[in-house]
Amino acid sequence: MSNLNNKVAIVVGGTSGIGNATVNQLLNEGATVHVVGRNTDKIADQANLIKHTASITNMADVNELISTINGLEKVDFLVNASGIFGPKPFLDHTVEEYDSYLDLNRGFFFITQAVAKKMKENNSGSIVSVGSMWAKQAVKATPSSAYSMQKAGLHSLTQHLAMELADFGIRVNAVSPAVVNTPVYHGVFGGKDEAEKALEGFNGFHPIGRNGSPEEIANSIVFLLSDNASWITGTILDVDGGVMAGRN
């Protein structure tokens, strides 16, 4: 386990799923964590946890958050983990649904810009975004055109920022998960119990034979954030139970 005492992290979308698992790991390893989400009340208060209520699709909220970031003494880590997922055929997509995905990237873009400026002051930092296997490959059972555009955008941003920010000691990576058992599926399948049941059908989709857990993705995120990954930047890490290697 790495020691992250005195490290300051911002986790956007840290109130549930992969983001929340990452928050918990960072706290356990001694970091101070600023968690950003629309409903921060749903996570318990604890030492070294600072909550910021914001919707990153709302530019007024984003600008307020940027002011807060500008006022911080330092930021060592940023995790971009907010996400929504609602499979829908391309021919049925509405403008509102499209915007709900792509507006996330606008928020990520300008929050990351503010954090990178802060990291540049200390000539060090590490940024990890949560991408998706769906950005690399289409799955007929889950039509996800707008979602995949959004995630592919994050993958591309990761590579561009890795190039641009390397001069300032900042590393930028992403993780690309396959099916992970998180609350993002509850809405897709009409509730927690229904989602658990439906997700069982995806276990065999992965060569390893099961869906992933938020903690498993968080393990990879915290690794990429840490000095253990000091020579890794611009990487889109497949954390997917083997899906990109082939199919069962």
Question: Which residues are tagged catalytic?
Answer: 147
**H/E segment holding residue 62:** helix 59-70
CA within 13 Å, CB half, 213: 4
How many Å apart are CA 109 and CA 118, to the nearest integer?
A: 14
Amino acid occupying residue 227: D
Distance CA 115, CA 232 (A): 19
Per-residue tokens: 12: 């956007």
| 49-53 vs 77-80, strand pairing mode | unpaired
Tokens 């897709």 correspond to what residue? 188
Q: Where are the beta strands (DSSP E) in the chain?
A: 8-12, 32-37, 49-53, 77-80, 125-130, 170-177, 236-239
